[in-house]
């Protein structure tokens, strides 16, 4: 029961120092996660007195279950797709969801519905929409599975250098808390997060082979082809990781004059890429949309989505991006820095160079387009695990005398507190639905049967999702690719009155067939946005919602 006493003390301290910073629901959520963490370890501690914990760890999958619990709790706390949050109002997750849902309903990706990300991200969100069409509960469970696999492979990287599994009980929760609470984690459910298991698997294969001074097997080359192929069809700007990945094995094969091995490795990787690409190609050929795949996913992204900075000062762009992200994600950046310190001083030169090449390849390909959105940096989270080994080596002599279960409980408690205080999302936990324009507008739009909606000159912020309205137009919202026909098509739709409702930031628009129905301000953490809902003049609507001080009528 010592851990419960410790938990009670920490709760009191938390109330004293931080109690005034959160609402009552924040306290409730904090206590639930805190006490659940301690209850788990009280049970484990009691069981440990009666069984051989080492046998339990390796034979019964204890650590796998533990890491699943960590992935579940920490993702629930820091991803706005979880049940702790009323709404995930971030644009990218909502666009992924709406487009995936539309594809599941029979629309052809890129041809009937526009978006510039790869097909597999919409497949995942399409599956999530089958679980729930009006919430992101399906997305949350996908995130949990993705993060669990990420942590499991991270543990395998740690075990390459430290065989003691207690570091997994203590270090991995700390590292994962830093990762999900970082500014670059954004709202959760970004392409970088969903690709993290595939990237870190490649890192494990490389480090394992270099540590043994061997080359990957044909099965491993094939796996690299499959994982890189998946990323090719999600967000191919992360493929630089694999270019860096191949450098050291290639140099070793040249040095050893294994020319046939070079051809064999390329062949197996290409075969893996082909196998994961085959369903994509069949889908677009079958739907007579191969041209749209090329135009939207490749041409538009390469020639329209990139900025002038990509051509003029590429290295300066990378340096600016790193400077901004290191400042915004200090703890994650520090952990990555510790990883390089560990790899340089504690591993062989080939391991360090392989690690460095993967890092540089991923950095340069990620920022090659000249853009540096905050969530781009989250793909570097896979480089944090050797830093945990470095941290363990520093604190080991002070932690070894402590009861490992109490220490793990304290660690989980500290991680929960850290995430509450540093994550950009936790302030929005269980915010009342009435405060969201998505909720208020959905009540109005659902007064008619099968409403249709257009997001005029704005990204999809969840209005389609929470009103359960599927896109009916190719450009159902604004996208970040500057296509000249995008806004023109939206204007034509409104001039013809082809949709029942449209939402815009503008409150005075010259579309004769529509009238202003509702208006509401909202700040989701990036500044105040002014949302306006317009409806066709002949719609029998009974409710309007305006901001305080505005006329209601």
pLDDT tens readout for residues 483-504: 989 999 999 999 999 999 999 9
Q: In sequence order, what DSSP letters do the residues of 205-232 get, joined into one string?
A: HHHHHHHTT----HHHHHHHHHHHHHHH
204 token code pair: 């494990």
Taking the mean position of all CA atoms in its chain, how far away is CA 449? Answer: 34
This prediction's pTM:
0.87
pLDDT tens readout for residues 433-461: 999 999 999 999 999 999 999 999 999 99
Please choose, from the candidates 84, 117, 136, the residue with its C-alpha nearest in 3D space to the C-alpha of residue 192. 117
Report how far residue 109's alpha carbon sits from residue 99's, in angstroms, rounded to the nearest whole number. Answer: 8
| Average confidence score pLDDT of the chain | 86
State the virtual CA torsion across 131, 132, 136, 138 in degrees, nearest 10.
-10
pLDDT tens readout for residues 323-332: 889 999 999 9
Given a cut of 70, whether residue 26 has pLDDT beyond it is no
Q: Is 16 helix (H, G, I), strand (E, B) or coil?
A: helix
> CB–CB of 517/417 below 8 Å?
no
pLDDT tens readout for residues 529-544: 999 999 999 998 876 6
Long-range Cβ contact pairs of 391-395 (< 8 A, separation 24 or more) = 391/171, 391/174, 391/335, 391/338, 392/162, 392/167, 392/170, 392/171, 393/342
Total H helices, total E strands in the chain: 22, 4
Report how far residue 334's alpha carbon sits from residue 544's, in angstroms, rounded to the nearest whole number. Answer: 50
Report how far residue 73's alpha carbon sits from residue 69's, in angstroms, rounded to the nearest whole number. Answer: 6
pLDDT tens readout for residues 378-425: 999 999 999 999 888 888 777 777 777 788 888 999 999 999 999 999
DSSP state of 108: P
Q: Specify the pLDDT at position 543.
A: 62
Q: Specify the pLDDT at position 546.
A: 65
Report how far residue 337's alpha carbon sits from residue 320's, in angstroms, rounded to the nearest whole number. Answer: 18
Report how far residue 325's alpha carbon sits from residue 328's, in angstroms, rounded to the nearest whole number. Answer: 5
pLDDT tens readout for residues 61-78: 888 999 999 999 999 999
């Amino acid at each position: 029961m010592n851990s419960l006493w410790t938990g009670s003390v920490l709760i009191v301290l938390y109330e004293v120092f931080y109690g005034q910073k959160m609402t009552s629901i924040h306290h409730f959520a904090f206590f639930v996660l805190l006490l659940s963490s301690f209850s788990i370890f009280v049970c484990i501690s009691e069981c440990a007195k009666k069984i051989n914990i080492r046998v339990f760890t390796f034979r019964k999958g204890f650590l796998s279950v533990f890491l699943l619990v960590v992935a579940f709790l920490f993702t629930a706390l820091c991803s706005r797709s979880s049940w702790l949050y009323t709404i995930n109002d971030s644009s990218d997750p909502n666009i992924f969801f709406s487009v995936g849902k539309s594809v599941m309903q029979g629309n052809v990706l890129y041809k009937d519905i526009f978006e510039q990300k790869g097909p597999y991200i919409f497949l995942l969100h399409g599956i999530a929409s089958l679980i729930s069409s009006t919430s992101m509960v399906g997305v949350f469970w996908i995130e949990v599975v993705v993060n669990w696999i990420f942590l499991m492979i991270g543990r395998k990287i740690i075990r390459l250098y430290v065989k003691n599994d207690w570091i997994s009980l203590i270090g991995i929760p700390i590292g994962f808390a830093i990762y999900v609470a970082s500014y670059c984690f954004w709202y959760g459910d970004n392409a970088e997060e969903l690709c993290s298991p595939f990237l870190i698997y490649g890192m494990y294969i490389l480090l394992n082979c270099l540590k043994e001074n061997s080359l990957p097997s044909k099965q491993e080359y094939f796996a690299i082809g499959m994982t890189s192929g998946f990323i090719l069809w999600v967000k191919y700007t992360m493929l630089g990781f694999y270019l860096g990945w191949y450098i050291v094995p290639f140099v070793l094969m040249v040095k050893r004059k294994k020319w046939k091995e070079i051809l064999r490795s390329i062949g197996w990787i290409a075969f893996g890429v082909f196998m994961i690409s085959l369903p994509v190609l069949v889908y677009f050929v079958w739907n007579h949309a191969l041209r749209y795949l090329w135009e939207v996913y490749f041409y538009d992204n390469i020639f329209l989505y990139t900025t002038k900075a990509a051509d003029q000062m590429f290295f300066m762009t990378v340096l600016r991006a790193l400077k901004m992200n290191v400042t915004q994600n200090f703890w994650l950046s520090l952990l990555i820095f510790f990883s390089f310190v560990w790899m340089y001083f504690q591993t062989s030169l080939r391991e360090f160079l392989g690690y460095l090449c993967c890092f540089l390849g991923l950095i340069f390909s990620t920022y090659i387009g000249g853009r540096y959105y905050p969530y781009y940096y989250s793909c570097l989270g896979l480089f944090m695990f050797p830093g945990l080994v470095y941290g363990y080596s520093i604190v080991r002599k002070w932690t070894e005398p402590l009861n490992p279960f109490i220490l793990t409980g304290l660690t989980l408690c500290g991680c929960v507190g850290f995430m509450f205080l540093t994550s950009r999302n936790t302030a929005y936990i269980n915010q009342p639905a009435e405060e969201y324009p998505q909720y208020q507008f959905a009540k109005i739009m659902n007064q008619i049967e099968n409403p249709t909606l257009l997001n005029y000159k704005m990204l999809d912020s969840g209005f389609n999702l929470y009103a359960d309205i599927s896109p009916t137009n190719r450009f159902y919202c604004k996208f970040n690719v500057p296509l000249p026909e995008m806004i023109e098509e939206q204007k034509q739709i409104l001039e013809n009155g082809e949709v029942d409702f449209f939402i815009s930031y503008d409150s005075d628009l010259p579309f004769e067939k529509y009238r202003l129905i509702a208006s509401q301000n909202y700040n989701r953490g990036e500044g105040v946005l002014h949302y306006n809902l317009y409806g066709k003049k002949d719609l029998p609507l009974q409710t309007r919602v305006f901001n305080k001080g505005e006329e209601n009528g």
